[in-house]
Structure 1
Amino acid sequence: MPRTSPHARTLVSIAVLAMLAACGGSDDVTDISPVTTAPAAPADPGFVESVPVPAVAAFVDTVATNQRGDARYATLATNAGVRVLGGMLDIWKPLTEIVDAGVTAPAVDGFPAVVASGWTGVPNDGTNGGTVVNAAVHNANIDYVVKATANRTPEQARLAYLDDRRNKGYSVTEGMGPLTSAWRTAARATTTINDVPADATTVKYDDGGNNNGVGGDANADFGKVVDLINSMGNNGSTEPAKRFYKYARPYRWSTAVKVVPQLEPAKSTTPNTDGGFTSGHSAEAVRNGVAMAYVLPERYQQLVGRGLELGESRILAGMHSPLDVISGRVQAQAVAAANLLAASSATRAAAVTQAHTTLMKLTSTTAATFPAYAVSGTAANDRFADYATSKANYIRRMTFGLPQIGATNVPAAVPKGAEVLLETRLPYLSDAQRRAVLKSTAIASGYPVLDDPEGWGRLNLFAAADGYGAFNGNVVVTMDAARGGFYAMDAWRNDISGSGKLTLKGSGRLALYGKNSFTGGTQIDGGTLEADAEGALGSGDVYVGSAGTLASKAKGQLAIGGNYAQLDKGTLDITLGSASAGLVTVKGTATIVGGTLRLRFADGFKPAAGTTYRVLTAGARKGVFTSVVADGYKATAVYANDGVSVRIDG
């Protein structure tokens, strides 16, 4: 079969056949009249979703109150780090609701002096150590640790040991995948703990490494990155919450909890100052993960996922319970947002630029090749390489299966400043749009500890990195390919619901992978909207403007639930595969004012010369394409009243 170069594009004149029964075309006379006027684009909803800031004290404004040993910040009402975890009071009532476990502080500014609590730190020892308010949740919380430690694998035990003893920043860099070595080299990050000792004689904090590495001017190529990550610890202590809630570690609640043997020496001998809620290791890991994800958004989900994985290591170690770990995530997200905002936009941007410049140099990549390299790992060298597994683990680790105890249908709130957490991952969106993304991807309400008034507990950063979960109102996305990175190309993988409309502008490429059900329609005024799933376009009309491209890359047939319209100079780009993969099926009318039909062929699919392939079906078709382009082949458009086919001529 004669062929051109596989990379060539062959432009052919339009040929029209009145009837093509073999392709399922109509036996009626086909209307091949040009259409000069397109129907109107899907109607704009008339509003843009605005997610208000909750009318409560904002964590990002009051983060400096997260202190212990200061009478001004000794209560839930006055300490931001305690207040954000207030849902714990529905599970457990501490002996005193003061930051006072092993703490004293003089009276100041009218606040009474803090007197050390009589809490012993040992439950069930006959003293008044606090009260279980919700026995079902408390029992499930401790039982989870009993089962987890009884069934942990040797590899889980190994990681639990490393995640306990090793500096958290160094451990989180494992979420870098193919970039781990380059990152550690650039940061000059070191550790002295690389494996589990054979015995149980080591001390608790004996990592002689430098955690996040070398910052400041001493590291000209990466110091700004290290400095930004180090700043995440500002006002981030979990000690005020520990000293307020006074909730014991799981191995003190139950002797059935099996601490990793090599960590037995790490058990504190002063339980009255060693509460389990909230987990400091978990909080630090999440803060570091969020900051690293901010400067390296190509690994966003993997890095925030590594933060939660380290939290689970604390459970598998026997050192913490799910509630301890969950609360660490909640507080850490709030602290990270506060510190990112405190750093100023210029400081943040400088760190992002420095990270990419240095890592590209170390990996011999360019701005064009770096994004793919960052996620080029396999299961053999990157345990976060499998997207589905990483997603499932993240969702599981958000709640650890604890029962919902409150209403499950309360609309999500989005905290003040939380949008900064997505600033580099979704850079082409506005702050208001990022807030809408966070709201639409938040987990359900009702889970223990997670229903804080601001909304920190319900934020699902993994899902938010996959774009909107719902379109409410008019969603206009403008991408700029010239800026590279996510401005040029991005993918949204959530299942998008809602009655809103999506409009794509600019020159970038946005791929939709979800089983979407939004009803407001899709308008492509510029750039390329890539549909990678059969239901990617929801159930509304689709309108391709003169500067827009709709790319059908679905493994099955791409369904358009309403009408389809394509303007002159617009493009329908179809990747055709076996079993009609990529075929566009329009429920209503397909109106083609002109433009290009671009045909590609999926890997492994080789069209046969002389064969005609259906590329578009519709309830009715009007108009014709101006041109047809096929990769490596000569092709002819064949029209029927109910669709379009392409004959491969050679």
Structure 2
Amino acid sequence: MQDLNLLRRLPLALAVSAALALAACGGSDNNAPQLLAIPAAPADAGAADTAPAPANVPAFVDNAATNQRGDARYATAATNAGVRVLIGMLDIWRPLTEIVDAGQTAPAVAGFPAVTASVWTGVPNDGTAGGTIVNAAVHNANIDYVVKATAARTKEQELAAYLDDRRAKGYSLSDGMGPLTEAWRSAARQTTSITGIAADATTVLYNDSGNNTGVAGSANPEFGNVVALVNAMGNNGSTEPAKRFYKYARPYRWSSSVVVVPALNPAKSSTPATDGGYTSGHAAEAVRGALGMAYAVPERYQEIITRGLELGENRILAGMHSPLDVISGRVQAQAVVAANLLDPATAATKGAAVSQARATLMLKTGTTADTFYDYAHSGTPANDRFSDYATIKAAYIRRLTYGFAPVGPTTAPAVVPKGAEVLLETRLPYLSEAQRRVVLKTTALPSGYPILDDAEGWGRLNLFAAADGYGVFTGNVVVSMDAAKGGFNANDRWRNDISGSGKLTKQGSGTLKLDGNNSWTGGTVLEGGRLEGTSANAFGKGDVYVSGGTLACNAPAALALAAGYTQLATGALELKLGSGQQGRLSVGGTMTVAGGSLTVSFQNGYKPAAGDTLNVISAASLKGKFDTITVAGFKVEAVYTDNGLQLKLSV
């Protein structure tokens, strides 16, 4: 028997050779059990997927500095990156002139002709629209959306729209930090003077006497690097070149049925020709700030970027902007932030900002590296309106397109802009740059939506979904996590529904939880650390092979493996049982156990009694045994059958 235990710990080829050697020297006999045949690991699925930047397309991150007005060199879509990234608008609306010239002049320079101010009035109903509506269905839906939204606006929405209009955007955004909000504002020394709708609504100005993002630099030694990082996200981020190029009027100028928040009427510009709506400056600034904050505190990544898009929607509810204005603000802002994070001046200091944010917020909240994430998500809907994952996910997805129907083919392959992977650098730190690009590719929006099919791919990015990991496995996907680095390197959770024909290999010491309704077919190999299934179909439809580390079952129902399960003597299985079938393992194919350990624990108040028999594993066929079985609080007798494992409990 000792010889057979040794065989279980050997790779298949070595085990076969050792078995033959034992037989040759009399080490086996006719009464010994048959050698356990260990299946091979899931087959190689080929090269991992890639997401190369589109060829022959000027990269925004290389040309962000061209996003200027008042310079003849950057007066066209061909020469201005901030205009070019929003070029899809020309399929809906053609401005009077395709030049950055609304209320704008610029002298000739370096062979570029001088810019003469456009005659566009900014008022579409003055006898000429000042341009051409190319797609009336989309344009009409765009304005009609604002008409309906402002007509149905509640008092609560009116106040939120007013505050997000007048108050500095940085202060507004920081409530997306939830339980960390007060600590963030205190550390940043962030203030505002706008706390409600002014009693005198005839003198509204953008006069928040607070300090927007807070105090940056050496004047704020505990958080100055963080504030400086967020501030840097605005570099080359002006929306004025796009406004003065596209010359698309604000919604209340297109339709008198748009109801602007009454207290904001005095804030309307008196110079419509220089007050275009496309793109929204507030929406763009909100997304820039949100992405800077999310980079610094990735534990609140999805919540804070949702707050950024919420601020954009409040511009619609205010009557000040249309959905296309707001969507374009998001698109441009994503590109601007990527460019700034990659800028050498920022790249050299962003790591220090992230470290400072984490250290200071932990100090102010009395948390540790092990408790910080849980504290950041300890809010409830009563005190953190971003606490419900399903709710904020639905809101984020809705705001990506605002219900517009596709106007083009929906199956074009996604492309990923050069440098876009930096937007996930702190959220998925254990993935390589190439892997983060594939995550962006496999979670992108379908093609075809108005203004979102820019050549680089900025419009189709879905950062909320990307923060939940891969959407598709193609080829060999190898994930290695180092728990010693802390944060998401130590523990992360992927919530997307992962499809594809690829294979997942988990390495390293960290923990990865899979929570989607997954269907990938290439199988799963666990070599190190912990891989936890928190949904019934967490491991897709392929074989699961545990050669090292711990595979944990923590699904609300039985964790169902569609194919086979193999565990070597160097592997471990953990079942976290609750009531019903929670935490049990159901194997659709053959379960081969060549030793290793099984650990059973209990959760959610479930506690069996001595004398109970637990049905913990079912399989089409069960072969082999665990070396050790441990059940929390009980002694255990294992009862193996051809189709499963029962545990009889005693004390």
TM range (shorter): over 0.9
Residue matched to 1:149:
150
Please say if residues 35 and 623 of structure 1, whose CA atoms lie closer than 8 Å, have aligned partners that are also in contact. Answer: no
The offset of 1:32, in angstroms, is: 11
> What's the secondary structure of 1:214's corresponding residue?
coil
> What's the secondary structure of 2:348's corresponding residue?
helix
CA distance in 1, matches of 2:574, 2:481: 19
Residue matched to 2:564:
563
> What's the secondary structure of 2:580's corresponding residue?
helix
CA distance in 1, matches of 2:216, 2:382: 32
> What's the secondary structure of 1:496's corresponding residue?
coil
Residue identity matched to 2:108: A
CA distance in 1, matches of 2:219, 2:346: 22
Residue matched to 1:502:
504
- Of residues 328, 349, 352, the one that matches 2:351 is 349
Judged with a 3 Å threshold, the aligned counterparts in structure 2 of structure 1 residues 236 and 32 are, in CA distance, closer, same or farther, namely farther
Residue matched to 1:120:
121
* Residue 214 of structure 2 is aligned to residue 213 of structure 1: yes
Residue matched to 2:364:
362
Encode CA deviations 1:275-325: one digit per residue, 9 max, x unaligned.
Answer: 000000000000000000000000000011110000000000000000000
> What's the secondary structure of 2:349's corresponding residue?
helix
Please say if residues 362 and 368 of structure 2, whose CA atoms lie closer than 8 Å, have aligned partners that are also in contact. Answer: yes
Residue matched to 1:552:
553
CA distance in 1, matches of 2:171, 2:231: 12
Please say if residues 32 and 622 of structure 1, whose CA atoms lie closer than 8 Å, have aligned partners that are also in contact. Answer: no
Residue matched to 2:378:
376
The offset of 1:569, in angstroms, is: 2.7
> What's the secondary structure of 1:251's corresponding residue?
helix
1:575-594 matches, within 5 Å, as: 575-594=576-595
CA distance in 2, matches of 1:169, 1:612: 58
Residue matched to 1:386:
388
Please say if residues 590 and 622 of structure 2, whose CA atoms lie closer than 8 Å, have aligned partners that are also in contact. Answer: yes
* Residue 474 of structure 2 is aligned to residue 472 of structure 1: yes
Moved more, 120-129 or 184-193: 120-129
Encode CA deviations 1:184-226: one digit per residue, 9 max, x unaligned.
Answer: 1111111110111234223221100111111111111111111
Moved more, 52-61 or 122-131: 122-131
> What's the secondary structure of 2:320's corresponding residue?
coil
Please say if residues 47 and 476 of structure 2, whose CA atoms lie closer than 8 Å, have aligned partners that are also in contact. Answer: yes
Residue matched to 2:440:
438
1:597-608 matches, within 5 Å, as: 597-608=598-609
> What's the secondary structure of 1:580's corresponding residue?
coil
Moved more, 338-347 or 265-274: 338-347
The offset of 1:124, in angstroms, is: 2.1
Please say if residues 568 and 594 of structure 1, whose CA atoms lie closer than 8 Å, have aligned partners that are also in contact. Answer: yes
The offset of 1:568, in angstroms, is: 0.1
Residue matched to 2:530:
528
CA distance in 1, matches of 2:168, 2:346: 27
Judged with a 3 Å threshold, the aligned counterparts in structure 2 of structure 1 residues 265 and 34 are, in CA distance, closer, same or farther, namely farther
Residue matched to 2:17:
none
Please say if residues 593 and 625 of structure 1, whose CA atoms lie closer than 8 Å, have aligned partners that are also in contact. Answer: yes
Residue identity matched to 1:237: S
Encode CA deviations 1:39-92: one digit per residue, 9 max, x unaligned.
Answer: 111112120111111111000000000000100000010000000000000000
Please say if residues 36 and 623 of structure 2, whose CA atoms lie closer than 8 Å, have aligned partners that are also in contact. Answer: no
The offset of 1:235, in angstroms, is: 0.4
1:23-422 matches, within 5 Å, as: 33=33, 38-55=38-55, 56-127=57-128, 129-342=130-343, 343-422=345-424
CA distance in 2, matches of 1:345, 1:164: 31
Moved more, 364-373 or 253-262: 364-373
Residue matched to 1:511:
513
- TM-score normalised by structure 1 residue count: 0.94
RMSD: 1.2
Please say if residues 509 and 530 of structure 2, whose CA atoms lie closer than 8 Å, have aligned partners that are also in contact. Answer: yes
Please say if residues 412 and 447 of structure 2, whose CA atoms lie closer than 8 Å, have aligned partners that are also in contact. Answer: yes
> What's the secondary structure of 1:588's corresponding residue?
strand
Residue identity matched to 1:508: G
CA distance in 2, matches of 1:618, 1:33: 21
Aligned-pair identity (%): 68
> What's the secondary structure of 1:233's corresponding residue?
coil
> What's the secondary structure of 2:410's corresponding residue?
coil
The offset of 1:366, in angstroms, is: 1.2
Judged with a 3 Å threshold, the aligned counterparts in structure 2 of structure 1 residues 154 and 604 are, in CA distance, closer, same or farther, namely same
Residue identity matched to 2:293: M
CA distance in 2, matches of 1:556, 1:433: 31
Judged with a 3 Å threshold, the aligned counterparts in structure 2 of structure 1 residues 129 and 577 are, in CA distance, closer, same or farther, namely same
Please say if residues 588 and 618 of structure 1, whose CA atoms lie closer than 8 Å, have aligned partners that are also in contact. Answer: yes
Please say if residues 558 and 584 of structure 1, whose CA atoms lie closer than 8 Å, have aligned partners that are also in contact. Answer: yes
CA distance in 2, matches of 1:612, 1:235: 67
Encode CA deviations 1:254-284: one digit per residue, 9 max, x unaligned.
Answer: 0000000110011000000000000000000
CA distance in 1, matches of 2:399, 2:132: 26
> What's the secondary structure of 2:233's corresponding residue?
helix
The offset of 1:649, in angstroms, is: 1.7
- Of residues 464, 485, 488, the one that matches 1:486 is 488
- How many residues in Structure 1 have an aligned counterpart in Structure 2? 619
> What's the secondary structure of 2:294's corresponding residue?
helix
Please say if residues 232 and 346 of structure 2, whose CA atoms lie closer than 8 Å, have aligned partners that are also in contact. Answer: no
Residue matched to 2:13:
none
The offset of 1:608, in angstroms, is: 2.4
- TM-score normalised by structure 2 residue count: 0.94
Residue identity matched to 2:537: G
> What's the secondary structure of 2:301's corresponding residue?
helix
Please say if residues 466 and 494 of structure 1, whose CA atoms lie closer than 8 Å, have aligned partners that are also in contact. Answer: yes
Residue matched to 1:543:
545
Residue identity matched to 2:479: V
The offset of 1:127, in angstroms, is: 2.6
The offset of 1:152, in angstroms, is: 1.0
CA distance in 1, matches of 2:129, 2:171: 41
CA distance in 2, matches of 1:198, 1:561: 64
Residue matched to 2:611:
610
Residue identity matched to 2:328: S
Residue matched to 2:27:
none
Encode CA deviations 1:134-165: one digit per residue, 9 max, x unaligned.
Answer: 00100100000001001111111111000000
CA distance in 2, matches of 1:402, 1:125: 28
Please say if residues 541 and 564 of structure 1, whose CA atoms lie closer than 8 Å, have aligned partners that are also in contact. Answer: yes
The offset of 1:619, in angstroms, is: 1.3
Residue matched to 2:427:
425
> What's the secondary structure of 2:97's corresponding residue?
coil
Residue matched to 1:28:
none
Please say if residues 32 and 639 of structure 1, whose CA atoms lie closer than 8 Å, have aligned partners that are also in contact. Answer: no
CA distance in 2, matches of 1:350, 1:618: 51
The offset of 1:527, in angstroms, is: 0.8
CA distance in 1, matches of 2:620, 2:380: 44
Encode CA deviations 1:441-474: one digit per residue, 9 max, x unaligned.
Answer: 1111111110001000010111100001111111
> What's the secondary structure of 2:414's corresponding residue?
coil
> What's the secondary structure of 2:507's corresponding residue?
strand
